[in-house]
């Protein structure tokens, strides 16, 4: 209960601040606008789009999607039919300095780290199956994400053989009206439980798999300080959709868990990278340019296992 209160306090604190809330207008409009002054004056010419805007949107949305993806932080083996684990997690996504031009948060400068506190639940189902749910928040924003996962242990609990598992998961980001983010993923997990002097267990693990990020925006007013009452949408534009099956990233992790009785303590490092087209549709009749996005994440968990 105390952990749940702590997570709620962290979320409430994040909701009061807005440095990391989305402001896509900073990236520029990718297509031509129907006006330049956009105040309804006669003879107002159109304004050309910025060719780099869609690439910046792709880098920003992909980076944010990777940051919101749930950390692995679990062994390949399941908890068993009666097993249950609850914990709090904190992930720190380390942003690259060379992506500062693609930062679309409301703060004037890109932060070096995105802090993502989370509440984690795991429940064994029997038959080497397990369900997991993660609720996470982006600090200094009103955005949160809800993740669900299903794990199947192909090898589970054999004394001389590492556990091997397959995980399928999905994440939806909530709390922002400009950006819609959906992530899907699948990964293989390999882990081993090592008992130490009959007092606690060490559980090293490695994971690797694929993550897909789907992103699109609603209509954005790129001239918010003026308005043409006769044609209010002339200064509106939206970014081109990034489809998840075309926006794929390899994601790998290595970590270590310590289990003493019911208490679980874990640390993990994760790396994700992919080179993908910046939009689904073509650009002037040719395939869209491709961009490389990568992200390092460090995370930790404190939990109870029953």
Find the largest Cα–Cα distance for the chain. Answer: 84
- Return the exposure string of 73-88: e unless at least 16 CB atoms fall within 10 Å of the residue's CB, then b: bbbbbbbeeebebbbb
Planar angle of CA 174, 149, 207, nearest 5 degrees: 110
Q: Where along the chain do its domains lie?
A: 2-28+49-305
Calpha distance 306→304 (Å, rounded): 7
Confidence at residue 9, expressed as pLDDT on a 0 to 100 scale: 45
CB 165 within 8 A of CB 78: yes
User: Could you write out the DSSP letters of every residue in 135-178?
Assistant: EEE-TTSS-EEEEEEEEEEEE-S-TTS-EEEEEEEEEEEES-SS
Q: What is the CATH number of domain 2-28+49-305?
A: 2.40.128
Q: Residues 135, 64, 213, 300: is their CA dihedral positive or negative?
A: negative
CB 256 within 8 A of CB 267: yes
User: Could you write out the DSSP letters of every residue in 187-201?
Assistant: EEEEE--EEETTTEE
Residue 137: beta bridge partners? 144
Calpha distance 90→299 (Å, rounded): 6
pLDDT tens by residue, the chain, 306 residues: 444 444 444 444 444 548 899 999 999 999 999 999 998 888 899 999 998 999 999 999 999 999 999 888 888 888 888 888 999 999 999 998 888 889 998 888 899 999 999 999 999 898 889 999 999 999 999 999 999 999 999 998 788 889 999 999 999 999 998 999 999 999 999 999 998 987 899 999 999 999 999 999 989 999 999 988 888 888 999 999 999 999 999 999 999 999 999 999 999 999 999 999 999 999 888 999 999 999 999 999 999 988
What are φ and ψ of residue 56, in 5° steps? Answer: -65, -40
- Return the exposure string of 23-58: e unless at least 16 CB atoms fall within 10 Å of the residue's CB, then b: bbebbbbbeebbbeebeeeeebeebebeeebbbbbb
């Amino acid at each position: 209960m105390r952990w749940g209160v702590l997570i709620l306090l962290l979320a409430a604190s994040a909701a009061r601040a807005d440095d990391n809330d989305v402001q896509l207008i900073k990236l520029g409009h990718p297509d031509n606008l129907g006006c330049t002054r956009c105040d309804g004056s006669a003879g107002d010419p159109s304004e050309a789009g910025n060719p780099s805007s869609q690439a910046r949107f792709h880098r920003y949305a992909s980076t944010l999607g990777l940051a919101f993806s749930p950390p692995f932080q679990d062994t390949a083996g399941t908890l068993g039919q009666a097993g249950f684990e609850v914990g709090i997690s904190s992930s720190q996504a380390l942003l690259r300095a060379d992506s500062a031009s693609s930062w679309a948060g409301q703060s004037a400068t890109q932060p070096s780290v995105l802090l993502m506190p989370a509440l984690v639940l795991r429940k064994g189902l029997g038959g080497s199956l397990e369900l997991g749910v993660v609720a996470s928040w982006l600090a200094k924003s009103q955005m949160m994400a809800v993740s669900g996962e299903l794990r199947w242990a192909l090898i589970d609990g054999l004394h001389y053989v590492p556990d091997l598992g397959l995980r399928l998961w999905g994440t939806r980001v909530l709390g922002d009206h400009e950006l819609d983010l959906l992530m899907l993923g699948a990964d293989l997990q390999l882990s081993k439980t090592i008992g130490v002097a009959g007092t606690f267990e060490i559980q090293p693990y490695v994971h690797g798999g694929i993550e897909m990020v789907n992103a699109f925006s609603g209509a954005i007013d790129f001239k918010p300080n003026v308005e043409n009452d006769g044609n209010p949408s002339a200064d509106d534009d939206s970014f081109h959709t990034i489809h998840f099956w075309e926006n794929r990233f390899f994601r790998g992790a290595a970590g270590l868990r310590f289990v003493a009785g019911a208490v679980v303590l874990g640390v993990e490092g994760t790396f994700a990278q992919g080179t993908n087209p910046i939009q689904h549709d073509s650009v002037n009749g040719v395939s869209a340019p491709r961009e490389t996005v990568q992200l390092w994440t460090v995370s930790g968990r404190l939990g109870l296992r029953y």
